[in-house]
Amino acid sequence: EPEVTQTPSHQVTQMGQEVILRCVPISNHLYFYWYRQILGQKVEFLVSFYNNEISEKSEIFDDQFSVERPDGSNFTLKIRSTKLEDSAMYFCASSGGLAGRTDTQYFGPGTRLTVL
């Protein structure tokens, strides 16, 4: 069964450094998403991406975040200058792009980001 994959599984960085989290969505999917879960808190939506542009973003997704689909398979989340509060599990998801309400999102295993 096709799966969403993410690399690395764990990333440790210093505050102020840039990090790039990588995801390979399911190959025929059209929508891509990033969510995050701070330890002990809810899974929160960050951004969705369709047709090479952001389709939705939350208030969390500020100017320090960016997303990109650099080639036909990868989908990346960049955090330009990491803060301590960016420490979280970051989940990538993808969906087939069925008409709105029937679309189902499939999640990757997550990247645990630790900012020191």
Q: For residues 20-39, which are near another protein according to CB under 8 A?
A: 31, 33, 35
Binding mask 58-87 for another protein (x = CB under 8 A): x-----------------------------
Is beta strand 5-7 parallel, antiparallel or unpaired with respect to 53-57?
unpaired
CB 38, min distance to another protein, A: 12
Query: Which amino acid does the sequence have at 19?
Result: V
Using CB under 8 A, which of 27, 42, 71, 72 touches another protein?
Answer: 42
Structure tokens at 53: 């542009």
46, 59 contact by CB (below 8 A) = no
